[in-house]
């Protein structure tokens, strides 16, 4: 069995230091890996990234993250990623990685994602160049995520994004902002591979549980939703194979 701890939208800055750490110190006892679904910082500065590295570094388990929209706010995302990688974290953007945990291979493919909306109420690549660029950004990110998922050889496969791949986990957010919280294209990418679990954040007022059209369990792990330092999800029991055992 593989135990996956997950959280998103931790928004670390100097005033947050120490808030998560007591629970994080217990991670090796309850989880084999920690996945963080974006919005690691408040404004995407190098100073905040250093605070993030201090709070979430050296935990005794691997830490895999994607960036969120807040982490791009100061246009220092490349420096932010460097700080996190120097602290031993794996930062994914259209890439994948495989870890061997408890004798099993866990594959994680990650990307920030982007907006666009969902079936019946989504943006299309038609009209003004600005709209084509908006939709084209989501298409490019989703294509990379799908390719990364399909390219991993593993026993259990997890997709990690910041933006939501399905509308169900946005329930509680105003309908008017759904197109800015996620895209069905991310769900299609997740369904293009034998994904066992999809994790995202971003929707602070959303709900935790959803499912892609292809049946993949989706969990919104934004901190304001799960209301704790992390949730733990279990994969690869003898009964369910690569499926989600517990959430």
- Quote the pLDDT of residue 119: 87
User: In this predicted model, what pLDDT tens digit does every residue of 113-171 receive, in sequence order?
Assistant: 999 999 888 888 889 999 999 999 999 999 999 999 999 999 999 999 999 999 999 99
Cα distance between residue 66 and residue 35, in whole Å:
8
- Quote the pLDDT of residue 236: 79
User: In this predicted model, what pLDDT tens digit does every residue of 28-40 receive, in sequence order?
Assistant: 999 999 999 999 9
Cα distance between residue 235 and residue 87, in whole Å:
27
Cα distance between residue 158 and residue 116, in whole Å:
22
- Domain spans, the chain: 2-246
Q: Which residues in the chain land under pLDDT 70? A: 237-243, 245-247
Cα distance between residue 231 and residue 37, in whole Å:
12
Q: Which CATH architecture has domain 2-246?
A: 4-Layer Sandwich (3.60)
Cα distance between residue 126 and residue 120, in whole Å:
16
- Quote the pLDDT of residue 242: 64
Provide Rg for the chain, Cα atoms: 17
* The two three-digit tokens of residue 58, written as one number: 């050296």
Cα distance between residue 54 and residue 127, in whole Å:
46
Cα distance between residue 146 and residue 35, in whole Å:
18
- Quote the pLDDT of residue 12: 98
Q: Please name the helix (run of DSSP H) or strand (run of DSSP E) that holds residue 51, with its range, or none.
A: helix 46-56
pTM above 0.85, yes or no: yes
- If you count them, how many residues does the chain have? 247
* The two three-digit tokens of residue 215, written as one number: 């049946």
| Alpha-carbon separation of residue 142 from 15, 111, 139, 179 (angstroms) | 34, 8, 5, 15
């Amino acid at each position: 069995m593989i135990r996956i701890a997950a959280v998103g939208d931790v928004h670390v800055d100097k005033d947050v230091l120490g808030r998560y750490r007591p629970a994080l110190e217990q991670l090796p006892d309850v989880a084999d890996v920690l996945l963080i679904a974006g919005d690691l910082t408040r404004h995407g500065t190098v100073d905040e990234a250093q605070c993030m590295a201090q709070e979430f570094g050296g935990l005794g388990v691997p830490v895999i993250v994607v960036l969120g929209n807040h982490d791009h706010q100061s246009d220092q995302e490349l420096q932010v990623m460097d700080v996190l990688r120097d602290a031993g974290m794996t930062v994914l953007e259209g890439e994948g990685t495989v870890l061997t945990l408890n004798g099993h291979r866990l594959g994680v493919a990650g990307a920030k994602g982007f907006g666009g909306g969902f079936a019946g109420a989504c943006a299309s690549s038609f009209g003004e160049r600005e709209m084509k660029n908006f939709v084209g950004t989501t298409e490019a990110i989703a294509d990379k995520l799908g390719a990364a998922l399909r390219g991993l050889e593993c026993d259990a496969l997890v997709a990690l994004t910041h933006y939501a791949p399905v509308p169900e986990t946005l329930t509680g957010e105003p309908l008017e902002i759904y197109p800015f919280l996620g895209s069905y294209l991310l769900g299609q990418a997740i369904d293009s591979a034998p994904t066992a679990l999809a994790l995202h954040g971003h929707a602070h007022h959303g709900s935790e549980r959803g499912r892609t059209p292809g049946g993949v369990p989706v969990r919104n792990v934004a901190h304001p939703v799960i209301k704790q330092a992390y949730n733990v999800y279990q994969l690869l029991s003898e009964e369910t194979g690569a499926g989600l055992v517990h959430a």
